[in-house]
Structure 1
Amino acid sequence: MIKIIFFACSILSLNVISAQNSDISGTVSFNGNSEPYVNIYLKGTEIGTASDEKGQYTLKNISPGKYTLIASNIGFEKFYKTITISKDQDKIIDINLKASTESLDEMVVTGTLKPVSRLESPVPVEVYKPTFFKKNPTASIFEALQNVNGVRPQINCNVCNTGDIHINGLEGPYTLVLIDGMPIVSGLGTVYGLSGIPNSLIEQIEVVKGPASSLYGSEAVGGLINIITKNNLSAPKFFADTFITDWGEFNLDVGTKFNIGNKTNVLLGVNYFKYDNPIDNNDDNFTDLTLQDRISIFQKWNFSRKDARVLSLAGRFFYEDRWGGEMQWTPEFRGGDEIYGESIYTRRWELLGKYQLPVKEQMILSFSYNDHKQNSVYGDVAYLADQRIGFTQLTWDKTSGKHSLLAGTALRYNYYDDNTTATANDNENEPDEILIPSIFIQDEIAFNKKHSLLLGGRYDYDDRHGNIFTPRAAYRFKFTDNDIIRLNAGTGFRVVNLFTEDHAALTGSRDVIIAEELEPERSFNINLNYLKKIYGDSGTFVSLDASAFYTNFQNVIIPDYDTNPNQIIYDNLDGTSISKGISANVDVSFYNGLKFMVGGTLQNVSNTENGVKQRQILTESYSANWSVSYDVRAWDFTIDYTGNLYGPMRLPTLGENDPRSDFSPAWSIQNIQFTYDGLKNFEFYGGIKNLLDWTPNRGNPFIIARADDPFDKEVTFDANGNAVATPNNPNALTFDPSYVYGPNQGIRSFFGMRYTIN
């Protein structure tokens, strides 16, 4: 009942729209067919909207005067029309779009740290819009990324279900998560950076695969995920999106935009997620899905300044209470050794902003700061941590002839403290605190319309590791308007903090062994990308995006589960770690409303030490993703079928006597959704997730080892600390929840509703 009241109050809280002067409305079409999601706005004003699913649009409350009406969307030439508005005179203007040879003319910022057309960028950047994620609605971006080719959300614990993002088979700590271009999410808070931002406030998500340390520093080793939020022009005036599942999950996104005076506009969004229904379908007396109570509040302020200079400020507050464990666990057992539970309280706030200096040159000062507090217990092991990250950066953007220069300096502040040996020195607490100054420069040289070359480098100084230099180079060859080849090469580095990155170091009964002082990881990457576009006479559009990649790591740190089944041993690999493979995406749109996307990746991620080559743990050799959508326009109805497929992975078993399989089978999660949008401002959607009812316990006697004895009270150990076989433990196992490669949540139905006022 509280949820219903909260949702109703959110809608009723919308301010009454003031009386309007005049409206412009009409229909956007291409080749006689309506065109949805086209951006329409009046140049030089804050008045703008997007066409709905039927191609219809309305611009409201327009004062008398002369304006330029602009419509733009991927795959089409921009539409311009000069109009004159008289008082109380509504206009109907239908817009007919023309196909463009520059079909992917989105603006991207992640690859080069400044806005550039996606086609002109020498660095390949994949762009995903909110409509892509609507095809399989989820409560967080973390889950939604399962439909992006080469990107896999990895669950790291069967009990608390925390996870990270793998790109091209590389572990989560190699992926840097950005919000509006700021490296605000890292280490302790990586998974939380992908939760709690309402889908309706996201302009686009940009994904770069491969090192980008020359621009972003540490952690940008394997790739980047940049969440770009909307501005006041593109955001809806009010939105609410809520869904429930038959497991009892409830998610609510609600938000609005409003003006303060004539020069300030504000974007506000709130996300709330609740799941409090313990389910144990695999009968191991442990929750299949972690219980969660989460709220996130996001606010973004944009200020109008002279000469359209940038000034924005954004903040987010995040709180989550999550627990998983034995079905009879309650909070009074927290931290004890009677009933096993993993309970995590997280409180986090973030602040980020941009300020363009009032000088003739294009100079922007960016900054971010976050404070992350975590109070966790894993059985009877407490983990109390506090991490603060401050970041400031000044960039200078200059174009001179054929050269597009970007130079800058950055300063990063890291503070980390916990109750483990990571911040202890001679039994005294010694938090990790450091300042890392950096300078960087890049020059993109446009020789002509077909050839461009980007050269860049970054210098960082870390007191612990000294001087770190990371160069990069990128070449773009556009041999026709519809064919582009890009060749990228660069280096990356990462400074490691195990306890903020690897959940396995904290959970279960394995002892953590750090064999040596850990050196920064280094990487070299080369990537060849080919983009092809095909335009059919009937309005059909095809896009092919294919890549081949190779990454060589030095000093790579990989948890060793094999040497001793009761230990996790961390040290720098004395050898090489190589990730290589190929990937491709094909997108096809037909004029009749049928669209499909298919992506696939073949990869080989291996480690070689002392002449022995071994496949990296928890890394699939192949994967595929797909999305098929069909608009039944006569019925205002859309069908979306999405899915993924992952090849076998090597898994962390507890030695030769462990009856669990050493490799996962090939597995797939598939979903179907039906959407009806025949009522103004409303969308109703529902469907089924995990149609095949796949869970990782298939083919295994159990998933969590010794789930009936999570504190190892009945395990017998020898003098070396190894478990020995006994009548009640014939396989000599200890409690271990780290055998996980996919979600335990089976088939479920969902139903939701969206209400939007543009």
Structure 2
Amino acid sequence: MKRLVLFFGLFITTVAALSQTKVVVKTVSSGTGDVVQGVSIALNGKSIKSTDANGLAVLQLANEKSKLSFSAVGFKTQDTTLVAPFPDTLLIQMISAQKELEEVTVVSSTRNNQRIENSPLKVEVLGREEMEEESTIKPAGIASILGDVSGVQIQQSSAINGNSNVRIQGLDGRYTQILKDGMPLYDGFSGGFGILSIPPLDLKQAELIKGSASTLYGGGAIGGLINIISRKPTAKQEAVFSINQTTLKETNYNTFLSRKDKKVGYTFFGGYNYQKAVDVNKDGFSDLSDLKGLVLHPRFFFYPDHKTTVVVGYTGTFEKRNGGDMQVLAGKADATHQYFENNTINRNSWELTAQRNLANNRKLEFKSSLSSFKRRILNNQVDFTGRQTNYYTELSAFLPHNANNLVVGVNATGDQFTKLTNTIPLNNFHNNTVGVFAQESINLQEHTNIEIGLRNDYHFTYGNFILPRLAIFHRINEHWATRAGIGFGYKAPNALAAQNTDFEIQKITSLPSTIKAEKSVGYNAEINYKVEWGVGNELFINQAFFLTQLTDPVVPTAASNGDVSFQNQSKPILTRGSDTYVKALVHEWELYVGYTFTVAERKYLTQNQFIPLTPKHRFAFTIVRDFEEEGFRFGLEGSYNGFQYREDYTKTPGYFFMAAMVEKKFGSHISLVLNGENLLDYRQSKVESLYTGTVTNPTFKSLWAPIDGRVLNLSIRWKF
């Protein structure tokens, strides 16, 4: 009897198997051709499976009529009906539910080929459209557009030369790592004027990670990371030329060219910036320095076969910045009017990257860059010239398997600071690091992704650092999702690292031999809500919380004679708070609202533990509408910065900042943009003098508000 039951069981199973057919489904984006993972597949109205990290799913379909439905966040639902015999492979092209320019399917900073919505590591993207708009508003650099993002503060560190740095989550600028195409850019001596000379017209997008990312990219990404992505060549010849003029005597000329053929391609950016020195508050000193700057960025692309891409590129930045006493700048120095500062900058960078696509969607990638930064600082007290050389080399592999992804790699990075004139007490120094890293992205369930990362860096001066990271993303339902993570980091001490206020280089002393590297641990948690309704209307709300603890912080101390020394503190720096932003698209009106609450404290102090020049409350909004039929685009943005503490423990007032722009398009080739910044004309100089001391020997105060005042600019752009 048992044998008879077994026989009939096997017979029924065999018949059922013979009545089914295996079908392989692959889902890709209709706009870009990129793989779309995590697509939910429903059979006859019942959910049965989701595509894996390679956009693939294997279905067993009965040899009868089958109704399939494919849905994913950010894409329109695709329906199809199959009747036997079925195809072996079914290609489904997912159509974006957003505008093509706003669609960012995959970001490179996560290294895992996941869609941004499902990535355990939170990444915010300023895309191609934002870069093109910024190229007509602030063509010379990306500092302004980065400052529009909640939780990001652009801190001007000098009233004379205009230098600025990027601060994230209340931490100083030296804890934000700047990358270009995944390779480190500016730090230490070469960090001066970094983000001021990155033109937005040359960029595809900018990717921001708030919080620790050191496991992926090494020491320095403690407060956050900004990865700027260069544009790639297009199949059709592309040519853009723009001219910009401001009411504060700034002129910009920019051009971008690109073309791709079967075997070769190229991109080229060239820009020239000219700024006359301006004394906005009429105190006798320049609030905008005299500037002449040239940026060149050619890149050449080679495609030996359909699986291989090789890129060779060069970036040259050449600037002269002169600021100080307006009478001295006019060539009329005398016994009273003597103060000035001249900066001459030559930055030359070379890159070589190669990417090889292997079988089963595996990928091998090589990156290498070499940069030489030379700066001459000339003022009435010192004439100094120094050079910093940076190098970076990385070999990594992307290895998808089943529904998971593995990234492994090894890199070497370093810098060398050399005095070309022996006119400052600071000695030559260098930093060299080798590291290995691995990151596993695991899809536990249909709606849950976990990332486990581990990096081991060996710094030749400060020893070994093991940096683990854990992040999780869970989609509760089609509207709600949540993220959480923890990451470790470190920062090697550097006497020339960015500070909130620039120190005079002739006052900076060498690091003591006993100094240690700073270490950090960062936590983050967030919850998201997204809903779509009608035609093209959507709302996205993100509520995030963060906490970063920095142990053994390296703190500068100025002696009575002005000499600046550095030492570790026994108690940590602690920053914590929340970051809220809302994005909405309603009847073609785009709205962005962000609020950041930050408590940043120096626990090594017994009182007045606040970190100076850090607003506890910061609010920002942007409203944009594109009237396509009329050829107009309108934008309005504003922000409120709450009170900040000065170094002397006094409070600054809070202030509002407003800006507006209108663009008129003439066909598809010409656009005219009128933009106004700081329309309320709020300036720090309206509250207090920008310097103390005498005209001959001034001491400039730290900056907590704009000093350049209201400015209008008119730009015209041609696309050929």
Q: Give TM-score scaled by structure 2 length.
A: 0.82
Query: Cα gap change, 1:535/1:577 in structure 2, threshold over 3 Å: closer, same or farther?
Result: same
Query: Cα gap change, 1:306/1:475 in structure 2, threshold over 3 Å: closer, same or farther?
Result: same
Residues 621-666 of structure 1: per-residue CA shift (max 9 Å, x gap): 111221111234453222211122211122234xxxxxxx822211
**Structure 1 match to 2:498:** 501
Matched residue type, 2:168: I
1: distance between equivalents of 2:400 and 2:333? 59
1: distance between equivalents of 2:343 and 2:101? 46
**Structure 2 match to 1:220:** 221
Query: Cα gap change, 1:583/1:287 in structure 2, threshold over 3 Å: closer, same or farther?
Result: same
User: Matched residue of 1:329: which SS?
Assistant: helix
2: distance between equivalents of 1:580 and 1:513? 32
1: distance between equivalents of 2:695 and 2:616? 34
Counterpart selection for 1:441 from 438, 441, 446: 438
Residues 190-228 of structure 1: per-residue CA shift (max 9 Å, x gap): 354424444333111100011111111121111111111
2: distance between equivalents of 1:670 and 1:422? 44
Q: Are the equivalent residues in 2 in contact too, given 1:197–1:298 (CA < 8 A)?
A: no
2: distance between equivalents of 1:437 and 1:293? 38
**Structure 2 match to 1:461:** 458
**Structure 2 match to 1:18:** none
Q: Are the equivalent residues in 1 in contact too, given 2:410–2:436 (CA < 8 A)?
A: yes
2: distance between equivalents of 1:649 and 1:266? 47
**Structure 1 match to 2:86:** none
Is residue 696 of structure 1 aligned with residue 687 of structure 2?
no
In the TM superposition, 1:733-744 aligns within 5 A as 735-744=698-707
1: distance between equivalents of 2:198 and 2:291? 16
Query: Cα gap change, 1:337/1:181 in structure 2, threshold over 3 Å: closer, same or farther?
Result: farther
User: Matched residue of 1:501: which SS?
Assistant: coil
1: distance between equivalents of 2:325 and 2:590? 44
In the TM superposition, 1:533-544 aligns within 5 A as 533-544=530-541
Is residue 650 of structure 1 aligned with residue 648 of structure 2?
no
In the TM superposition, 1:50-69 aligns within 5 A as none
Is residue 706 of structure 1 aligned with residue 693 of structure 2?
yes
Is residue 576 of structure 1 aligned with residue 572 of structure 2?
yes
2: distance between equivalents of 1:271 and 1:265? 21
2: distance between equivalents of 1:625 and 1:238? 34
Q: Give, in angstroms, the shift of residue 365 of structure 1.
A: 1.2
1: distance between equivalents of 2:407 and 2:33? 31
Is residue 603 of structure 1 aligned with residue 603 of structure 2?
no
**Structure 1 match to 2:310:** 311
**Structure 1 match to 2:243:** 242
Is residue 107 of structure 1 aligned with residue 105 of structure 2?
yes
Moved more, 605-614 or 393-402: 605-614
**Structure 2 match to 1:59:** none
In the TM superposition, 1:541-552 aligns within 5 A as 541-552=538-549
1: distance between equivalents of 2:582 and 2:185? 32
Residues 705-749 of structure 1: per-residue CA shift (max 9 Å, x gap): 124231xxxxxxxxxxxxxxxxxxxxxxxx321421233101122
Q: Are the equivalent residues in 1 in contact too, given 2:179–2:185 (CA < 8 A)?
A: yes
Q: Give TM-score scaled by structure 1 length.
A: 0.78
Q: Are the equivalent residues in 1 in contact too, given 2:677–2:711 (CA < 8 A)?
A: yes
Is residue 745 of structure 1 aligned with residue 697 of structure 2?
no
2: distance between equivalents of 1:705 and 1:107? 52
Q: Give, in angstroms, the shift of residue 323 of structure 1.
A: 1.3
Matched residue type, 1:212: A
Matched residue type, 1:267: T
| Unaligned runs of at least 5 residues, structure 1 | 1-37, 45-72, 81-94, 654-660, 711-734
In the TM superposition, 1:507-518 aligns within 5 A as 507=504, 517-518=514-515
User: Matched residue of 1:498: which SS?
Assistant: coil
Counterpart selection for 1:614 from 598, 609, 612: 609
Q: Are the equivalent residues in 2 in contact too, given 1:108–1:206 (CA < 8 A)?
A: no
User: Matched residue of 1:220: which SS?
Assistant: coil
**Structure 2 match to 1:343:** 342
Q: Give, in angstroms, the shift of residue 188 of structure 1.
A: 2.4
1: distance between equivalents of 2:623 and 2:357? 49
**Structure 2 match to 1:628:** 623
- Root-mean-square deviation (CA, aligned residues, Å) is 3.4
User: Matched residue of 1:524: which SS?
Assistant: strand
2: distance between equivalents of 1:207 and 1:235? 30
User: Matched residue of 1:559: which SS?
Assistant: strand
Query: Cα gap change, 1:338/1:200 in structure 2, threshold over 3 Å: closer, same or farther?
Result: closer
Q: Are the equivalent residues in 2 in contact too, given 1:334–1:341 (CA < 8 A)?
A: no
Matched residue type, 1:390: Y
2: distance between equivalents of 1:744 and 1:285? 14
Is residue 296 of structure 1 aligned with residue 295 of structure 2?
yes
**Structure 1 match to 2:286:** 287
2: distance between equivalents of 1:345 and 1:416? 17
User: Matched residue of 1:225: which SS?
Assistant: strand
User: Matched residue of 2:685: which SS?
Assistant: coil
Residues 514-566 of structure 1: per-residue CA shift (max 9 Å, x gap): 677431111100001222211012431111122100000101123346x8695
1: distance between equivalents of 2:389 and 2:104? 34
Q: Are the equivalent residues in 2 in contact too, given 1:492–1:522 (CA < 8 A)?
A: yes
Counterpart selection for 2:660 from 653, 658, 672: 672
2: distance between equivalents of 1:754 and 1:39? 30
Q: Are the equivalent residues in 2 in contact too, given 1:265–1:301 (CA < 8 A)?
A: yes
Query: Cα gap change, 1:582/1:318 in structure 2, threshold over 3 Å: closer, same or farther?
Result: same
Counterpart selection for 1:124 from 116, 122, 131: 122
Q: Are the equivalent residues in 2 in contact too, given 1:112–1:123 (CA < 8 A)?
A: yes
**Structure 2 match to 1:657:** none
**Structure 1 match to 2:190:** 189
User: Matched residue of 2:691: which SS?
Assistant: coil
Q: Are the equivalent residues in 1 in contact too, given 2:495–2:511 (CA < 8 A)?
A: no
Residues 247-271 of structure 1: per-residue CA shift (max 9 Å, x gap): 1111121011135x74110000111
1: distance between equivalents of 2:101 and 2:323? 47
User: Matched residue of 1:328: which SS?
Assistant: helix
2: distance between equivalents of 1:176 and 1:495? 13
User: Matched residue of 1:705: which SS?
Assistant: strand
Q: Give, in angstroms, the shift of residue 487 of structure 1.
A: 0.6
Matched residue type, 1:603: T
Query: Cα gap change, 1:378/1:482 in structure 2, threshold over 3 Å: closer, same or farther?
Result: farther
Query: Cα gap change, 1:610/1:695 in structure 2, threshold over 3 Å: closer, same or farther?
Result: closer
User: Matched residue of 1:685: which SS?
Assistant: strand
Q: Give, in angstroms, the shift of residue 698 of structure 1.
A: 2.0
Is residue 640 of structure 1 aligned with residue 635 of structure 2?
yes
Matched residue type, 1:577: I
**Structure 2 match to 1:268:** 268
Q: Are the equivalent residues in 2 in contact too, given 1:284–1:707 (CA < 8 A)?
A: no
Query: Cα gap change, 1:372/1:216 in structure 2, threshold over 3 Å: closer, same or farther?
Result: same
Query: Cα gap change, 1:459/1:509 in structure 2, threshold over 3 Å: closer, same or farther?
Result: closer
Q: Give, in angstroms, the shift of residue 424 of structure 1.
A: 6.5
The count of aligned residue pairs is 639
Matched residue type, 1:251: N
Q: Report which of the two structures shows the higher radius of gyration computed on alpha carbons.
A: 2
